[in-house]
Amino acid sequence: MEGPPIQLYLRGEDHWRSEEEWPLKRTVWTRFFLGGLSGEDEGTLSESAGRGGERTYSPDVFRKEWRLGSPKLIYRSEPIDKPLEITGPLSLHLVARSTAEDVDWFIAFKDEAPDGSSMTLTKGWLRASQREVDDSRSKPGSPWHPHTRSVPLKPCEEEFFEIELVPTCNVFQSGHRLRLEIASSGSIIERPGYHEAIPVKANNTILEGVDGSYLFAPVIPNV
């Protein structure tokens, strides 16, 4: 029981580090905004919000591709020019609308290497009807959902969702990218087996830019 109470394994650098508290006091909470040219399956992930836009995907539960995680939206940062550490709890502030009264959001956060291969760092999920948040029990990167009632969506109306991702610890090396994937099929976060998603056919639209969606991440300055 001697020594610092927190032991972290830093993926990307492959070593252990001791810390005194959690989350780390030196955390710089950073917003990575979803954006890019509209109308494409891939968008951007950037600290600069850019102009507003939107991106739509249409899960079709009657096709086998849905069980395999398609369709999905992918957001990628520019290649990192120097090592970037993200350690701690993190969440996705998702602004979206759907043609359905309920839908599941599945999120995967990855480290993409220069050759295009990627490693899943963490994941999160939320059923839209369970989006209510208890602010008094929430913390940065850790929204608290009471799950005391179901609140259906109003089709085609804009809503926001605070989606918690499992805490992570990773150093993105130079040339790597932050990668975020959004789908309505649980297979993007778990194989084999699935988180059972609502089998609904819908058009789901993600809103982007300064008033839209962003990843809220704990960036750790170099010490």
Model confidence over 157-187: pLDDT tens digits?
Answer: 999 999 999 999 999 999 999 999 999 987 7
pLDDT, residue 193, reads 54
Query: Is residue 208 within 8 Å of residue 93, measured between CB atoms?
Result: no
Mean pLDDT value across residues 27-31: 98
Query: What would the DSSP string read from start to end of the chain?
Result: --S-SEEEEEBTTTEEEEESSSS-TT-EEEEEEEESSTTSSEEEEESS--S-EEEEE---TTSHHHHTT-SEEEEEPPPPSS-EEEEEEEEEEEEEEESSS--EEEEEEEEE-TTS-EEEEEEEEEEGGG----GGG-BTTB------S-----TT--EEEEEEEEEEEEEEPTT-EEEEEEESSGGGT-SSS-PPPP-----EEEEESTTS-EEEEEEE---
Domain ranges of the chain: 6-220
- Rounded to a whole number of angstroms, the distance between the first and last alpha carbons of the chain is 26
pLDDT, residue 52, reads 84
How far is Cα 181 from Cα 187, in angstroms, rounded to an integer?
A: 12
| 112: amino acid identity, one letter | E
* Cβ-based burial of 152 (10 A; exposed 0-12, middle 13-18, buried ≥19): exposed
pLDDT, residue 81, reads 95
Say if residue 66's pLDDT is above 90: no
Per-residue confidence at 197, pLDDT binned at 50, 70, 90?
Answer: confident
List, in order, residues 6 or more apart from 51 with CB less than 8 Å away: 35, 209, 210
How far is Cα 143 from Cα 174, in angstroms, rounded to an integer?
A: 31
Report whether CATH 3.90.105.10 matches the domain 6-220.
Answer: no
The structure's pTM equals: 0.93
pLDDT, residue 191, reads 63
Query: Is residue 160 within 8 Å of residue 180, measured between CB atoms?
Result: no
How far is Cα 18 from Cα 7, in angstroms, rounded to an integer?
A: 5
